[in-house]
């Protein structure tokens, strides 16, 4: 397994729409392993393949306290979302250090393939539901800051570009 570089906002590659995975094979299994290692190393609870510059519909999530319950979603589709909404503070490995409120459905039902290629239906609420929706947005080329006001989004973009320039100088 290997740590993968995580793209940082406003990298235009984060806006690429992911394509479906054609077959759950050894290549996809290796990608899933690398994504899980990368997510855990970065202290994240979710990571979409888009964030590591792989534009296929693969998501890894682990919202467990013990960090030992990975959930793998390949070609996920939300089949139901509750009409009830809630606002939660969200952060993102692609927008480090930034947290803000985003309104999302309180519960979702998702159909996806697991890491073995078996079809699964996951019913989620709370943090898991938020995380699934957040990561699936990445597969559509959407970053959570796009839910924020243009003023907040522009401030975040300027902050991220400044941080990148400072890192490049170091």
* Tokens representing residue 157 in the block: 């973009």
**Annotated catalytic, 123?**
no
Give me the sign of the Cα torsion angle 42, 108, 78, 89.
negative
Write the DSSP symbol of residue 64.
-
Say what the pLDDT of residue 84 is.
Answer: 97
Beta-carbon contacts of 79 under 8 Å, excluding residues fewer than 6 positions away, are: 109, 110, 111, 121
Q: What are 5-18's pLDDT values in tens digits?
A: 999 999 999 999 99
**What's the total number of domains in the chain?**
1
H or E segment and range at residue 87: strand 85-92
* Residues facing residue 107 across a β-bridge: 125
Residue 92 annotated as lining a ligand binding site: yes
Please check whether residue 3 lies inside any domain of the structure.
no
| Residue 166 or residue 63, greater confidence | 63
Please check whether residue 4 lies inside any domain of the structure.
no
The percent helix, strand, coil of the chain (3-state, each to 5) is 35, 30, 30
Please check whether residue 161 lies inside any domain of the structure.
yes
Domain that holds residue 87: 12-168
Q: What are 85-137's pLDDT values in tens digits?
A: 999 999 999 999 999 999 999 999 999 999 999 999 999 999 999 999 999 99
Q: What are 28-49's pLDDT values in tens digits?
A: 999 999 999 999 999 999 999 9
Exactly one of 123, 135, 166, 168 is catalytic; name it: 135
Tally of CA atoms within 13 A in the half-sphere of 87 that contains its CB = 6
Judged against a pLDDT cut of 90, whether residue 145 lies above it is answered with yes
Give the pairing of strands 107-113 and 119-125.
antiparallel
**CA–CA dist 17, 56 (Å, integer):** 8
First to last CA, the chain: 28
- CATH code, domain carrying 52: 3.90.45.10
* Tokens representing residue 64 in the block: 């467990």
Please check whether residue 159 lies inside any domain of the structure.
yes
Residue 55 annotated as lining a ligand binding site: no
Please check whether residue 77 lies inside any domain of the structure.
yes
Across the chain, what does the average pLDDT equal?
A: 97
**CA–CA dist 6, 163 (Å, integer):** 15
Write the DSSP symbol of residue 107.
E
Residue 8 annotated as lining a ligand binding site: no
């Amino acid at each position: 397994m290997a740590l993968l570089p995580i793209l940082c906002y406003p990298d235009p590659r984060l806006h690429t729409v992911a394509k479906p995975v054609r077959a759950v094979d050894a290549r996809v299994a290796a990608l899933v392993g690398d994504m899980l290692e990368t997510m855990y190393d970065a202290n994240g609870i979710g990571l979409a393949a888009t964030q590591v510059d792989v534009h296929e519909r693969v998501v890894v999530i682990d919202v467990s306290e013990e960090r030992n319950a990975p959930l793998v979603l390949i070609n996920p589709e939300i089949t139901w979302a509750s009409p009830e909404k809630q606002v939660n503070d969200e952060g993102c490995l692609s927008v480090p250090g930034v947290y803000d409120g985003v309104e999302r459905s309180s519960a979702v039902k998702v159909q996806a393939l697991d890491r073995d290629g078996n079809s699964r239906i996951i019913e989620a609420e709370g943090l898991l539901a938020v995380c699934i929706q957040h990561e699936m947005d990445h597969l559509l080329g959407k970053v959570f800051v796009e839910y924020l006001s243009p003023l907040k989004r522009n401030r975040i973009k300027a902050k991220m570009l400044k941080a990148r320039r400072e890192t490049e100088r170091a």
